[in-house]
Structure 1
Amino acid sequence: MSKVASKIEAKDYSISDVLSNKKYTIDYFQREFKWQQRHIEQLIADLETSFNLNYDETHERQEVANYNSYYLGPIVLSNKDGKKSVIDGQQRLTSLTILLIYLNNLQKEQPHKVNLDALIYSETYGQKSFNLDVPERKHCLDALYSNGNYEIKDKDDETVKNITERYFDIVELFPDELKGKALPFFIDWLTQNVVLVVITAYSDDNAYTIFETMNDRGLNLTPSEMLKGYLLSKVRTSEQRDQINAVWKKEIKGIHELWNEADISFFQSWLRAKYALTIRPGKIGAANEDFEKIGTRFHTWVKDNNDKITLQNPNDFYEFVNTNMIFFMKVFTKIYQAREYFTIGLEHLYYAQHWGFASSLADPLLLAAIGLNDNEETIDKKLNLVARFIETFAVYRGANYRNFSQSSIRYTMYNLVLELRDKSVQEVGNILAQKLQDIEENLNGLLRLGMHMQNKHFIKFLLSRITSHIELKSGKSTNFVTYFHNPGGKPFEIEHIWADKMQYHDDEFTQVHEFNEMRNRLGDLILLPRGTNQSFGADRYEKKLPHYIKENLLAQSLNTVCYERNPNFLNYVNQSGLPFKAHDQYKKEDLNERQNLYKQISEEIWSLDFFRTID
């Protein structure tokens, strides 16, 4: 091996240095982008917290140069014949690219823009290519960069799907406080003060050796392992230490079946739920308190806060692991299993997973009310109540075009954790019902709700809940999963009742924008299996109507045939008093009536009576 080929370099660089007018390929063995929402959530929370330690709205932008730096981690590159390949770190670099695309779109309406183009793509002879040069991703990144939206296709691979979903996670999670005057300051800080350590090898062999060493050997202790070491040191006898060590290994191994870093999320959620007392106020520059410190260094927080956890003697440390930790780890596992698989009695955990808020807020809320002496029935009732609150809160916000980024609701939800802590089922229900009554938003927003590029996920969630609800009430066996995922069958898609042809409605519209706004209203939307809507989607309503009787009950209810010899559905309509009716034609008035029907069904689905009838 030549002297150059054997060389290894390591140096810290800003994000701007790493990405500006650079070109990287990605090695075949780590081609897929696999980050999930929790990774993006943690990244944004860490960046926001670090930035806010220095930001002051009275600052001039040049003062950002004196802000603290933030270390994002290492990346490993192979530099062979002048071509750089990412051996380790593509998850981080891909996520940064998506974040930069979002920030670039966000600042389009800002008076002061930061030029981010060179960090996202480079151009040669008029041909644009992204700095992470992977051909399979280009069409997706092009769409996100150009208009902030991409429609996932059947042929798209896992990476394209994840890139699209993570982009919309950023849309939902990015803090409102950073979208106004602070935005150019944050972009400056992100690109110039956030650093990566770039390890460059000049041969593939050396690059792979570095990759293996970083991932298999010599790893630093995790916060969980450091917490274990501290707790074990406080147990009196070697017999107890051996027992706790064995228990720890077994339980951590079990929770890792959820995902590799599930133990980190568990300890953050459990300690916040049961022991944290103080919260950082929402104002910029405020010092971190219990909730924030647990999120960054929970092992240190436990060591510094024995009094809050009532760890006063060796037996307390023993019971903390052998009783408390094991109990709450089982509840945490139950939560994540119910989020993954639709479970009767815990169904709102599944719903809230698909329309709720960040797990760093949701998980402490869910664990807060659980007591060590609660039986399984009580645990399930409390979890379903809190999950129902999370879902309802998120639906209220979505119905009114309101963002629920982590930062905008964090202070409220952490305070709610304190209110729910160790309460009874009835107390939990009363507290949550009152919270929902007190918030500004409600379901009246559904009367104005329409679909746009950024809320299609919510619209599909809403239609899936409405469709499955009326079918369940009418004795059918379908459920939310059928319409939101439909595993094993054709996926359902949002169908416009009106075709995209204004000439069909020239008696009511003269302006295209008015027609498009009305056509995208909730009252013009139903769910149909993929392929069905394409087959007659361009037809007039009168021609579509006979086809609807073959589809789900929400679609059928447009047709008069649905109201003939359909006793279960008719009984439901009579008992509920909902204003179902057939529509032989579909004018603006019909659409408004239908929108009102959807709103009233939603009021039945998310009735606050749910919180008061749990005993």
Structure 2
Amino acid sequence: MNKITAHAVNLRTLLNNKYTVQYYQREYNWGTKQIEELIEDLTNEFFEFYKEGDRQIDVRNYGNYFLGPIILTNDNAIIDGQQRLSSLTLLLIYLNNLQKQQANLPKVNIDNYIYSEMYGQKTFCINVPEREECLASLFETDDYDIANEQSESVRNLYNRYKDIERIFPDELKGDPLPVFIEWLIDNVSLVQIRTDSEQDAHKVFVTMNDRGLRLTPTEMLKGYLLSMIDDNTIRNKANDLWKSKVVQLKDMEKDGDADFIKNWLRAQYAQTIREGKKDAENKDFDNIGTTFHKWVQENRSIIGLNSSIDFENFILKRFNMYSDIYIRLKDYSRNFNKEYEYVFYNADRGFTLQYQIILSAIRSDDTRDIIDKKIKMVSCFVDQFISIRVFNFKTVDYSSIRYTVFNITKMIRNKDISELAEILKHYINGMDLTLEGIDGFYLNQFTKRYMLHILARMTHYIEEQSGINSNFADYVNREQKNPYDIEHIWADDYTQGNHQQDFSTEEEFKQFRNRFGGLLILPKDKNRSLQDMEYSKKVIKYDSENLLARTLNKNCYSNNPLFLRFMNEAQLPFKPYEQFDKKALIERQSLYKEICKKIWDVNKIDLLANS
């Protein structure tokens, strides 16, 4: 092997180059979980140093963060590390777009770390031609049409960018933003390992990954638990069960075993959580997230692990039972099941904390019937909790509500059905926020990640109540050939209709156009074909679309007995509009609020408890 060099480089240096990826390893395959972990790790580390009022220059006194090694040849071929570099490029593109929306903040010029340009063509940090159109579109427009995209890597890049949009914490979008960007490019480093040849680079890769493999926290926890069981036969039985469940969890997702154990231990046993201030000490919640195998050993008495039989039951009963429930929850989150619909709704909005909350309510001696009720009740509560916050422009990002969620977890831990129902309803009714916030709800940078979901829920609800075969999952599936998009009832044209009479300025019109009551969902091709059309022509086209769109057309109120019966019984003020002016939009917003009150009714928790 020839000479090998290794040294730490920050992103400012690392991304100021262009890299190639060999044809046999070109797929970008990071999932949502990896992006979530990257954003969480970076933001948590940043807030270790950031103080309110800090400026960009203060970053020189901040600490550094290490993101792992990257293996390169001297001609910049990446042998290991393209997943991280690709993801960091996506993050920088997002941060650049975010800066465009924050004109009042100092701008950090990061274009050179995203792309270089020659002859009018952008070349990105990782130079793979099939990715360039997607990355350029994300950079320039914050979006990309993947409807007919065949490349797995490009589809993954787009979806992970949308994950970053959803996950990136709101508290970093204001004054801390330029400081965070400076810290990211100057203080976040990787160890760059360079070799003279690709062959040598592969040898380094194999040596780093195949020799002296360390046990995972799951394996170390298993080893500890089994070592405390006296009977050889029972120990072997527990070992077989553990291995079987771990296989199922890993088949479900790469780190499914560790994710389950973290959620389970936090749900059932964690009593404390780290304070949100610099130099605060890690507590139960945090230690379970990093070294749960050590936490179990150090807290065995709290868990109730005092004798051999306790350890037997911990694996054969509790681990067995809660892992089965977790596997069910993951299935419900991916495949729409009407009986457990709220788990799917919460997952569609990326709320991964629901698993912890649901598991906390379930006792180890609950029957299957009780477990099922608790899953339905708690997931319904989570759905209402998320929706109320979103309608009032309050974030549900992990870093912002982890303390709230932890307190809810402890509050409902191991409660029986009747007490659980009262606690959940009391919490919703006691929130400072209510669904009345819908009066001022509109489409903006924050709400756009939730708006399609909300409009799809409303569409699905009124169709289902009107006897129409409706599939919510189809409305929110971004992977299908012709996905649904948000439709503005008003075209973006101030000169159409009565807009100049209703609004004194074009800016006022544009703001009003984004209000909740002026939105629908339509298939993407229909949305594009109608976007410049005036309302009197659009409303004719709406008559052949989903029911929420059809209700604008007078034909919806003829020969439609099931819808009319639902409308009257629910006392919802649907009406058709030949002209859709400012007054009509305000009326439609009130209608939407009443529909939402039906969908997110706190009394549904009682109905589920008594079902």
SS of structure 2 residue aligned to 1:311: coil
Residue 595 of structure 2 is matched in structure 1 by 601
- 1:94-243 to structure 2, matched below 5 A, reads 94-107=86-99, 108-109=102-103, 111-123=105-117, 128-146=122-140, 148-155=142-149, 157-215=151-209, 218-243=212-237
SS of structure 2 residue aligned to 1:73: strand
Does residue 307 in structure 1 map to residue 301 in structure 2? yes
Greater displacement, 474-483 / 435-444? 435-444
Q: TM-score, normalised by structure 2?
A: 0.91
C-alpha spacing 1:286/1:112, structure 2 compared with 1 (3 Å): farther
CA contact (8 A) 2:489 2:519 kept: yes
Summarize deviations over 1:133-190 as a string: whole Å, max 9, x none. Answer: 2233333333443454445443363333333333333333333444455445444443
Of residues 405, 418, 442, the one that matches 1:450 is: 442
Residue 437 of structure 1 is matched in structure 2 by 429
Amino acid at match of 1:601: I
Greater displacement, 423-432 / 403-412? 423-432
Does residue 24 in structure 1 map to residue 19 in structure 2? yes
Does residue 371 in structure 1 map to residue 363 in structure 2? yes
Amino acid at match of 1:44: I
Residue 349 of structure 1 is matched in structure 2 by 343
Deviation at 1:128, TM superposition (A): 4.3
Summarize deviations over 1:208-232 as a string: whole Å, max 9, x none. Answer: 3444455555432211112112222
C-alpha spacing 1:177/1:522, structure 2 compared with 1 (3 Å): closer
Of residues 70, 94, 97, the one that matches 1:75 is: 70
CA contact (8 A) 1:497 1:541 kept: yes
Residue 34 of structure 1 is matched in structure 2 by 29
Aligned partners of 2:279, 2:98: CA distance in 1, in Å? Answer: 24
Summarize deviations over 1:268-305 as a string: whole Å, max 9, x none. Answer: 10110011110112334322111011111111111211
Of residues 570, 573, 577, the one that matches 2:564 is: 570
C-alpha spacing 1:381/1:127, structure 2 compared with 1 (3 Å): same
Deviation at 1:320, TM superposition (A): 1.3
Residue 9 of structure 1 is matched in structure 2 by 5
Amino acid at match of 2:234: Q
Summarize deviations over 1:549-569 as a string: whole Å, max 9, x none. Answer: 222211221122221221111
Aligned partners of 1:290, 1:363: CA distance in 2, in Å? Answer: 18
Summarize deviations over 1:467-520 as a string: whole Å, max 9, x none. Answer: 110111111121312322398774333222223332222443453222222222
Does residue 460 in structure 1 map to residue 456 in structure 2? no
Aligned partners of 1:163, 1:72: CA distance in 2, in Å? Answer: 20
Aligned partners of 2:541, 2:183: CA distance in 1, in Å? Answer: 56
CA RMSD of aligned residues (A): 2.7
Aligned partners of 1:65, 1:530: CA distance in 2, in Å? Answer: 47
C-alpha spacing 1:547/1:417, structure 2 compared with 1 (3 Å): same
Of residues 270, 278, 281, the one that matches 1:276 is: 270
- Number of equivalent positions: 605
Does residue 424 in structure 1 map to residue 424 in structure 2? no
C-alpha spacing 1:276/1:138, structure 2 compared with 1 (3 Å): same
Residue 92 of structure 1 is matched in structure 2 by 84
Residue 538 of structure 1 is matched in structure 2 by 532
Amino acid at match of 2:26: R
Summarize deviations over 1:298-318 as a string: whole Å, max 9, x none. Answer: 111112111221111222222
SS of structure 2 residue aligned to 1:257: helix
SS of structure 1 residue aligned to 2:486: strand
SS of structure 1 residue aligned to 2:338: coil
Aligned partners of 1:432, 1:504: CA distance in 2, in Å? Answer: 48
SS of structure 1 residue aligned to 2:262: helix
Greater displacement, 519-528 / 152-161? 152-161
Of residues 537, 555, 559, the one that matches 1:561 is: 555
Summarize deviations over 1:242-269 as a string: whole Å, max 9, x none. Answer: 3322222111111111111111111110
CA contact (8 A) 1:349 1:387 kept: yes
Aligned partners of 1:126, 1:529: CA distance in 2, in Å? Answer: 34
C-alpha spacing 1:549/1:118, structure 2 compared with 1 (3 Å): closer
SS of structure 2 residue aligned to 1:573: helix
CA contact (8 A) 2:518 2:585 kept: yes
Residue 372 of structure 2 is matched in structure 1 by 380
Residue 517 of structure 1 is matched in structure 2 by 511
Of residues 327, 331, 334, the one that matches 1:337 is: 331
CA contact (8 A) 1:355 1:391 kept: no
Greater displacement, 415-424 / 148-157? 148-157
C-alpha spacing 1:575/1:66, structure 2 compared with 1 (3 Å): same
Residue 585 of structure 2 is matched in structure 1 by 591
Of residues 11, 14, 39, the one that matches 1:44 is: 39
Summarize deviations over 1:413-449 as a string: whole Å, max 9, x none. Answer: 0011101110122322222222222223322232222
CA contact (8 A) 2:105 2:175 kept: no
Deviation at 1:14, TM superposition (A): 2.7
Deviation at 1:68, TM superposition (A): 4.3
CA contact (8 A) 2:384 2:602 kept: no
Does residue 485 in structure 1 map to residue 477 in structure 2? yes
CA contact (8 A) 2:147 2:483 kept: no
Summarize deviations over 1:309-351 as a string: whole Å, max 9, x none. Answer: 1111222222211211111110110010001111122110111
Aligned partners of 1:245, 1:455: CA distance in 2, in Å? Answer: 47
SS of structure 2 residue aligned to 1:256: helix
Of residues 259, 263, 275, the one that matches 2:257 is: 263
CA contact (8 A) 1:240 1:318 kept: yes
SS of structure 1 residue aligned to 2:536: helix
Amino acid at match of 1:169: D
Deviation at 1:100, TM superposition (A): 2.5
CA contact (8 A) 1:356 1:391 kept: no
Aligned partners of 1:564, 1:333: CA distance in 2, in Å? Answer: 46
C-alpha spacing 1:538/1:173, structure 2 compared with 1 (3 Å): closer
Greater displacement, 58-67 / 434-443? 58-67
Summarize deviations over 1:391-419 as a string: whole Å, max 9, x none. Answer: 22222222233322212111110011101
Q: Gaps (5+ residues) in structure 2?
A: none
Q: TM-score, normalised by structure 1?
A: 0.91
Amino acid at match of 2:484: F
Amino acid at match of 2:88: L
Aligned partners of 2:50, 2:442: CA distance in 1, in Å? Answer: 37
Aligned partners of 2:341, 2:39: CA distance in 1, in Å? Answer: 29
Does residue 362 in structure 1 map to residue 362 in structure 2? no
CA contact (8 A) 1:149 1:453 kept: no
